[in-house]
Chains A and B, each alone.
Chain A
Amino acid sequence: MNQNNGMSLIVKTITRLLVGFILLYGIYIVLHGHISPGGGFAGGFIIALSYILLMLAFGKEEILRKVPQPMISFLESLGALMFLTIAVLGFFGGYFFSNWLPKGIPFKLLSAGTIPISNVALALLEVSLGLFGIFLVLVLLKFTPPKKEK
């Protein structure tokens, strides 16, 4: 890895220590969406922000190697299809989007039927959307300076 990429050594070290916790907090927010405040939207963006922190600290090449763009497209399609599949599987319970899974005990992690699965699907969509925002910025930054020099 090229040492000149990204920010200084202090920022890199602190980022290396913090990124795991931010990622874990995002996953916690997603999985506990039906118990505590949060849910798929907020948690997915927190997970994406942990990757943005990696990008800011280590430079573009690092994150481009970790999460290539086909993987992001795949995750996004997977999230959207998963949400739609949950909706269609609701016909088992009688109608579109019916909550047909067993409800379980309140305040337990595995409760509330299809809501946790929908949260995970939305989170996949949001993660890929946030990461896609980074790539958009990278493409824009790549494309504009040569035009100015001409």
Chain B
Amino acid sequence: MIEINLLLIFIIIAAIVAVEVKDLLSSVVAVGVAGFGLVISFLALKAPDLAITQLVVEILCLIILIRATIKIDLPFSTSGRWFVNTLACIAFLVIFLSYGYAAISSLPSFGNPLMKTSNFYLGETFKTIHATNVVSAINLNFRAYDTLGEATVLFAAAIGIMAIMRKKGKLTKAGKDDESE
């Protein structure tokens, strides 16, 4: 348990650095550090499936973020309505933390009750489905509705962005296809 706490402290430090540092590229790298801390904590919790997925998605996001931020000088604003912003931030933090504390304290403690639901999956997966990866069996067999919803969300997001970003078929004011861009 101690290594999980150390990793959580590490992730929190990385997140604070990501917020506080002035340079945009350093901030992106700090976000990546927080993600890789999460990968190692998944490994320490003995979830290699999640660790692989988190690692790969983290690398993809890091590459995209660096490519998107490396050449563009985004304006950095420090002035503004800092009083209202700070007040709203503190109010939302208080609400979030109090609800989170209530939700987490009502959950059963870590690892308890011992294997009540997971015993069913561990037994049934090998007996009736003949798959040896329990996570995959839960994702694609027992709880396939959830995965269908996930796939639908990803598909819809990609289609939406594609429709906004497309170049071919966009009409100009003259009424013909704009191929100049």
Q: Is the interface of B mostly helix, strand, loop or mixed?
A: helix
Q: Residue A115 contacts which of B137, B152, B162, B165 (CB distance < 8 angstroms)?
A: B137
Interface pair B136/A39, CB less than 8 Å apart: yes
Contact of A34 among B72, B137, B155, B162 (CB under 8 A): B137
Rounded to whole Å, the gap between the CB of B19 and the closest CB of chain A is 23
A111 contacts B148, CB within 8 Å? Answer: no
Q: Count B-side interface residues using an 8 Å CB cutoff.
A: 40
Identify which of residues 27-73 in chain A touch chain B, using a CB-to-CB cut-off of 8 Å.
Answer: 29, 33-42, 45-46, 48-49, 52, 56, 73
Residues of A contacting B129 with CB < 8 Å? 99, 103, 112-113, 115
> Given A105-B130, A139-B165, is A37 in contact with B155 using a C-beta cutoff of 8 Å?
no
A1 within 8 A of partner (CB) = no
A111-139 toward B: CB 8 Å interface, digit per residue (1/0)? 11111001100100110111011101101
Question: Given known contacts A38-B52, A83-B148, is B71 in contact with A145 (CB within 8 Å)?
Answer: yes
Within 8 A of A (CB), among B45-63: 48-49, 52-53, 56-57, 59-60, 63
Return chain B residues, CB-CB under 8 Å to A137: 64, 67-68
A37 touches B144 (CB 8 A): no
Residues of B within 8 A of A130 (CB): 60
- With a cutoff of 8 Å between Cβ atoms, the chain A residues found around residue B141 in the complex are 97, 99, 113-115
List, in ascending order, chain A residues with CB within 8 A of B158's CB: 76, 128-129, 132
Min C-beta distance of B28 to chain A, whole Å? 13
Closest CB in chain A relative to B87 CB, distance in Å: 33
Known contacts A34-B137, A119-B140; A111 and B131 CB within 8 A of each other:
yes
Residues of A within 8 A of B128 (CB): 103
Please tell me if A107 contacts chain B, counting CB pairs below 8 Å.
yes
Contacting residues, chain A, for B147 (C-beta < 8 A)? 83, 118, 122
8 contacts between A and B (CB under 8 A): A33-B133, A35-B131, A38-B49, A49-B60, A80-B152, A83-B151, A125-B154, A132-B162
Binding site for A on B (CB under 8 A): 48-49, 52-53, 56-57, 59-60, 63-64, 67-68, 71-73, 126, 128-133, 135-137, 139-141, 144-145, 147-148, 151-152, 154-155, 158, 161-162, 165
16 further contact pairs, Cβ within 8 A, besides A39-B53, A39-B139, A97-B148: A33-B136, A34-B132, A37-B52, A40-B140, A42-B53, A87-B144, A104-B130, A106-B130, A111-B131, A112-B130, A112-B137, A115-B131, A115-B140, A136-B165, A144-B72, A145-B71
